[in-house]
Amino acid sequence: MSALYELSDIVQRYDGREVLCLPQLSIAAGSIVGLAGPNGGGKSTLLRLLAFLEFPVAGEVRYRGQATRGREFALRGEVTCFPQEPYLLKRSVRANVGYGLALRGATDIRERVDAALAQVGLDPARFAGRSWRQLSGGEVKRVALAARLALRPAVLLLDEPTANLDRDSAELVRRAVLSAREAHGATLVISGHDQPWLRAICDDILWLADGRLAGPAANPGPSGAVSDNTTFAGNSGRQS
């Protein structure tokens, strides 16, 4: 099974304080990996590194077997991150969801926007024309997710996607995110506190605390344990 991401000797610091220290981590293509752990453990930092929005102070991130330094603009074309508190542009919902598509010169923007909105449970007829000011907190989150789903990214990184969502909305998000993998084989990395939710959808769950990966999460998923030194997530239970 090919490794999509290979991280080695990663160290990240903010203002001199070490926030992440990963000797070795690989993520398999097409897998769904969960990231659990206490607040401040480094989950968001790791996701930002994987999204090429940040660069480690030391170490290397390889993507599809190649070095990533200097190629971040191109890579961000297929890797997208859904942050904990997403930000909407001061435009209509339609323009927000279609922004990334317009950048890529897509021609079927309207259809994809409508489809993405439907996926997150927002009726395009009612929501597409609304301005960013006219949305509730939950709706903002869902529009932001739709904007990412519409891109059909190769990698979708989600930072606590179900935080502050009611059970029905959380279910919608689960289905939308899974369909991304079904429809075009996206690799997903999802961080969260809701362990049952993560367990239900992830192939593997990594436990991140104080910037370091512990052994497998307290209750490993159906795929089995991971070895001590090398953490290879997403491989278990898959055919090579």
Partner 1 sequence: MNYLVDGLRQALLLLAQGDAATFSAVWTTLAVTFEAMAATLVCGVPAGFFLGYATFPGKRAARLLVETFLSFPTVVIGLVVYAFLSRRGPLGEWGLLFTVPGMAVGLTILGLPIVIALTAQAVENLDPRLRPTLLTLGAKPRHVFWATLSEARFGILLATTAAFGRIVSEIGISMMLGGNIKWDTRTITTAIALETGKGEFATGIALGLVLMGIAFLVNLAAAVCRRRQAA
Does 110 participate in binding partner 1 (rule CB under 8 A)?
no
DSSP string, 120-184: TT--HHHHTT-BGGG--HHHHHHHHHHHHHTT--SEEEEESTTTT--HHHHHHHHHHHHHHHHHH
- CA 135, distance to chain mean position in Å, is 23
Judged by CB under 8 A, the residue of 3, 33, 128, 147 near partner 1 is: 147
Does 67 participate in binding partner 1 (rule CB under 8 A)?
no
Q: Do residues 190 and 34 make contact, with C-beta atoms less than 8 angstroms apart?
A: yes
**Amino acid, res. 21:** C
Q: Do residues 142 and 103 make contact, with C-beta atoms less than 8 angstroms apart?
A: no
Nearest to 80 by CA among 160, 187, 1: 187
Does 161 participate in binding partner 1 (rule CB under 8 A)?
no
Judged by CB under 8 A, the residue of 58, 103, 183, 218 near partner 1 is: 103
- Site residue total, partner 1 (CB under 8 A): 25
Which of the ranges 72-80, 119-127, 163-171, 217-225 carries the binding residues for partner 1, by CB under 8 A? 72-80
CB-wise, 85 or 166, nearer to partner 1?
A: 85
Does 99 participate in binding partner 1 (rule CB under 8 A)?
yes
Which of the ranges 16-24, 36-44, 84-92, 167-175 carries the binding residues for partner 1, by CB under 8 A? 84-92
Left if phi > 0, otherwise alpha if psi is -120 to 50, otherwise beta: which for 105? left
- Give the H or E element holding residue 100: helix 93-103
Least separation in angstroms between residue 158's CB and partner 1 is 12
Judged by CB under 8 A, the residue of 17, 69, 133, 167 near partner 1 is: 133
- CA 12, distance to chain mean position in Å, is 19
Which of the ranges 55-63, 87-95, 111-119, 202-210 carries the binding residues for partner 1, by CB under 8 A? 87-95
**Residue 102: φ, ψ to 5°:** -60, -40
Judged by CB under 8 A, the residue of 15, 16, 66, 90 near partner 1 is: 90
Interacting residues toward partner 1 by CB under 8 A: 48, 51, 53, 73, 76-77, 80-81, 83, 85-87, 89-92, 99-100, 103-104, 131, 133, 147-148, 151
